[in-house]
Structure 1
Amino acid sequence: MALSRRAFTLGAVATAGLTAYGLTINPPPAAAATYTGYLKTYFTESPNQSGANYGLHLAVSRDGLNWTPLNQNNPVVTPTAGDLGLRDPFIHRKQDGTFVVVATDLYGLNFGRNSQYLHVYDSTNLTSFTGYRRIQMHTYANVHTWAPTVFWDAGRGQYAIVYSANTTTDLFLVNYTSDFRTVSAPQTYFSPGFPVLDADIHVEGGVTYMYYKNLANGYLYGARSNTGAPNSFTTYTSGLRQGNAIEGAHLVRRNDGAGWWLWGDSFSPVNNDFYLWSTGNLGANAWSVLSQRDYTPPLNSKHGSIVCITEAEYNAAVTRWGTPNWVRLKSSNFPDYFVRHANRTVRIDPYPFEPYRDQLWRMVPGLADATGVSFESVSVPGSFLRHSGYVARLDPNDNTATFRADATFYRVAGLADGSWSSFRSYNFPTYYLRHAGYVLRIDPLSSSSSAGDRQDATFRITS
């Protein structure tokens, strides 16, 4: 269906506005900033949807790899119009240094529900998200508007909003905007002859790079253009894939100047895996797979985006929203496994699982010695991880001296990796918490123990 070159606005009926080639006043570029952290946006799902929430979630990271959810992993805002939920939230730093978030207008798993709109929020410094609105991207019937990405098109002097649609096939459309309120008519941006999904776009060294999913074979690819104009991209990488299924390609420029990361995530709520590659040269077809030991996504997080932030922005977001009052314990040698309780047994299992809250622990001062630590279950308050007959279990605190001693550990440098942690028993000082046959227990260990035993006793404290 041909559309006139008119602008679409917030209402169901479009009104006149700026076109792609309209007269605009370009915003001044933001002053050069030093980025010391990262902020991630996402929504959440879990296998039986007990952890599903379709509001805007935030997490922060110092290294860009291991993430701390903010606001107790609850949303900071939730849409109040359209489908009353969002997916695929994309955050973009605008030319003036402030932020805009655009997101799919969809609640839950009803992918047959098609919206012509995107949700939009503004943020000055990540402490609030205001100006909520929806923008109408097209007037097609029964066509979705999914997984938006944003980049600044310097040649046009406008922002490009690129998103997945299914007009003649699964392809990318683009609308241009100066204010994220009025947008140009949609144009086909990328339709390479096979169906595609989930674009992410960055401009680097005068080249516009786009990563996407080829729906025909299930792999991620990179394409590039010297102009960033619609229909100007050429694919330059071989296919990338980890796991059984992957989508949600997302590029991140590293703050340390060492190159780029490429994230991808699974698209099933029963599989919360994220996958990661790195490269020192975005223009080369040379991506290296990172081990899941190297990174930890936010709990239950799904398809989102990452933006580099300053120290002031990092501190402001943490101060405003707060960090979790719980931790998770990640296994060193089974890095997709987390410590959880099940029927009072304490063990490691691959995440995701339900109830997902059984992996959440409050790490409190040791019950027998406040310089140590004890682990109280979040899902069974008043019950603690303790050893009994050398085997770890979850029991209610009876406040006896024996219980307090069994439930107290000293956190020390990881026996297999000093940047991780190991936990030495309070009342058996040469014994450490470790897994064996996936069940936690305490055993005598030291730096001279076998590499495998030391790995079994090493954990990352994460959230």
Structure 2
Amino acid sequence: MKKIAILLLSLMITGCTAKSIQPSFDHDVKQTSSSEVYDYLNQSLDSFIFSKSDLPTYKGETVEWGVVSGEGEIIENKLVKKSTAKEYEPIVLEGTVQGETYTFENIMLLDEQTGYLMTYFGGDDKNYENPKLAYTFDGMLWYLINDDKPIFKATTGSKKVRDPSMVRKKDGTFALIATQGWDNPSIYVWDTVDGVTYENERLLQVNKSNDDLKMSEKQAWAPEAFYDRRIDQYIVTWSSPKDGGMFYNYTNDFNDISYPNQLLDTGFTVIDGTIIKEGYNYTIILKDEREPMEEYSQLFLGTSETDYLGFDTFSSKRITGHQSEGPFYLKRDYDYILYYDDYTRKQFQAMTTYDLRSEEFEDVEMIKEVIAPMTSPRHASVIPITWKEWERLTKGFNVEVSE
């Protein structure tokens, strides 16, 4: 069995309020591997795999998959949980292709996916800048959680929570991150096991300067994050118009954070990018922040042929046709739904596509009262969840849903 070297994390303690970590994975630094096959499969494997999900092939070539450890099994190229598995089951896989066998670690096997959980803010003046939740089974019909009311209110910082985004942590549980008010260099972070109770409220400064990158230390908008099993770290992305675009940091646990790096360069200011992983490929949907807003303030696409730090091709086409921001997407069996904040009209809109990299989207006829029954919703994010996770939410907030 071929052994693969894992990149090591080095810590660097500074005199800042929070410690900073030295990024351990840079776009110019390649993982130690003599095999293009390993690199391809390692990037193609997700950090979290829902039971009965298809495992990747190598550029169309069949891979013989096996479970090295963990209560899972391979059935018709799908990774399936055994009845004896824990709710969050750590898995080690091996894949054999072209006569070579490779081992892949840091994978969490989940129950089957049952729908999507939305985090958003908005509403009346009293409850405007507070986090809220909604849920969908099919990507079109949304159910309110807690009746469009805040699920909690912040007690530190500006106490203004915008652009909330749920992040699955490597143990299967969650962190909720959010913009802190308007012009602040720190983001909010909370931990939650069930999506009902939120603990350990803290501020994490992501916009800060070092010798290599001088920042305004003023803004950190629309944070999103995801776990990368290849380097055993979380990548936090966010926007700062004052600094000209989008940036990213690394963190081990949402307590310590690296200095920022520029995420991409379009030649003009962009914000609100959401990154989409499709097997080996990455796509980003983001907002053109140039003025006049009536002309430029729309969404467009970026693609990468390497990873989430390699976005270098951007569409000239603006896909929404009117002022829009805060995109998020849902994957269905055969297509994707792209939702976005139609902020001048205080509602969400949606578009569908079979290929996120094609620039070809079709409008979905929206019936606001049925499809998205929120009051003046703003910038949202979604995360796929399981039935057990949905049950904990419904019990915690006394939600009644009839299909």
- Tell me the TM-score normalized by structure 1: 0.60
Give SS of 1:53's match.
coil
Partners of 1:225 and 1:233 within 8 A in 2: yes
User: What is the aligned partner in structure 2 of residue 79 from structure 1?
Assistant: 154
Q: Structure 1 residue 308: deviation in Å?
A: 1.4
Among 15, 19, 22, the residue aligned to 2:23: 19
Among 244, 248, 253, the residue aligned to 2:331: 253
1:131 correspondence with 2:200: yes
Distance in 2 (CA, whole Å) between partners of 1:115 and 1:300 is 24
Among 291, 296, 302, the residue aligned to 2:378: 302
Partners of 1:79 and 1:86 within 8 A in 2: yes
Among 194, 201, 208, the residue aligned to 2:282: 208
1:55 correspondence with 2:130: yes
Give SS of 1:281's match.
coil
1:92 correspondence with 2:92: no
- Inter-CA distance 15–306: structure 2 relative to 1 (3 Å threshold): closer
Distance in 1 (CA, whole Å) between partners of 2:325 and 2:395 is 33
- Inter-CA distance 93–83: structure 2 relative to 1 (3 Å threshold): same
Q: Deviations over 1:254-286 (max 9, x none)?
A: 2xx222111111334xx3221101112223222
Distance in 1 (CA, whole Å) between partners of 2:253 and 2:271 is 25
User: What is the aligned partner in structure 2 of residue 233 from structure 1?
Assistant: 312
Distance in 2 (CA, whole Å) between partners of 1:316 and 1:14 is 33
Identity of aligned residues (%): 25
Distance in 1 (CA, whole Å) between partners of 2:161 and 2:154 is 7
1:316 correspondence with 2:392: yes
Distance in 2 (CA, whole Å) between partners of 1:183 and 1:7 is 10
Partners of 2:186 and 2:220 within 8 A in 1: yes
Distance in 2 (CA, whole Å) between partners of 1:168 and 1:121 is 26
Among 102, 112, 117, the residue aligned to 1:39: 117
CA RMSD of aligned residues (A): 2.9
- Inter-CA distance 209–225: structure 2 relative to 1 (3 Å threshold): same
Q: Deviations over 1:225-282 (max 9, x none)?
A: 133353533124721115x42111112222xx222111111334xx322110111222
Partners of 2:106 and 2:230 within 8 A in 1: no
Letter matched to residue 208 of structure 1: Y
Distance in 1 (CA, whole Å) between partners of 2:247 and 2:20 is 20
Give SS of 2:179's match.
strand
Partners of 2:216 and 2:243 within 8 A in 1: no
Among 216, 220, 223, the residue aligned to 2:299: 220
1:150 correspondence with 2:228: no
Q: Structure 1 residue 215: deviation in Å?
A: 1.7
1:50-449 to structure 2, matched below 5 A, reads 52-106=127-181, 111=182, 114-139=183-208, 140-141=215-216, 143-169=218-244, 171-216=245-290, 217-230=296-309, 232-236=311-315, 238-242=317-321, 244-254=322-332, 257-268=333-344, 271-293=345-367, 295-323=371-399
Distance in 2 (CA, whole Å) between partners of 1:99 and 1:8 is 26
Distance in 2 (CA, whole Å) between partners of 1:7 and 1:250 is 34
Q: Structure 1 residue 116: deviation in Å?
A: 1.1
Distance in 1 (CA, whole Å) between partners of 2:314 and 2:160 is 34
Larger Rg belongs to: 1
Q: Structure 1 residue 14: deviation in Å?
A: 4.2
Partners of 2:192 and 2:199 within 8 A in 1: yes
- Inter-CA distance 8–301: structure 2 relative to 1 (3 Å threshold): farther
Letter matched to residue 35 of structure 1: Q
- Inter-CA distance 115–148: structure 2 relative to 1 (3 Å threshold): same
- Tell me the TM-score normalized by structure 2: 0.68
Q: Deviations over 1:368-417 (max 9, x none)?
A: xxxxxxxxxxxxxxxxxxxxxxxxxxxxxxxxxxxxxxxxxxxxxxxxxx
Give SS of 2:147's match.
helix
Q: Structure 1 residue 204: deviation in Å?
A: 1.1
Give SS of 2:388's match.
helix
Show structure 2 runs of 5+ residues with no match.
1-9, 27-103, 209-214, 291-295
Distance in 2 (CA, whole Å) between partners of 1:138 and 1:241 is 29
Letter matched to residue 222 of structure 1: L
- Inter-CA distance 31–154: structure 2 relative to 1 (3 Å threshold): closer
- Inter-CA distance 260–209: structure 2 relative to 1 (3 Å threshold): same
Distance in 1 (CA, whole Å) between partners of 2:340 and 2:327 is 5
Letter matched to residue 233 of structure 1: D
Letter matched to residue 320 of structure 1: G
